[in-house]
Amino acid sequence: MGAQPPHPPKSRTAYVVLAIFLGGLGIHNFYAGYSGRAIAQLLLSILSCGYLGLFVWIWAVIEACTVKQDSSGVQFA
């Protein structure tokens, strides 16, 4: 059996939009396959009753500016 072909690249625009609007919940990282980061962001926001939401949102915006590939190493399109 041959190796599976890599999945099609995900949209960078979608990643950035998700980070800006839903970044406090880590939705952009779920989209890109970074489930560990996504769960951390989601738990920080929920367990702090939103008090750390601004911190998590800033974290998400920084990721939107710096992350260039998904968790499989495929560059965003």
Question: Virtual CA dihedral for 70, 22, 64, 72, nearest 10 degrees?
Answer: -10
**Distance separating alpha carbons of residues 21 and 29, to the nearest angstrom:** 13
Size (the chain), residues: 77
| Average pLDDT, integer, range 61-68 | 97
pTM of the model: 0.89
Contact 53, 24 (CB under 8 A): yes
Examine the pLDDT at 3 and tell me if it is beyond 70.
Answer: no
**Which pLDDT does position 5 carry in this prediction?**
62
| pLDDT tens-digit readout, 13-57 | 999 999 999 999 999 999 999 999 999 999 999 999 989 989 999
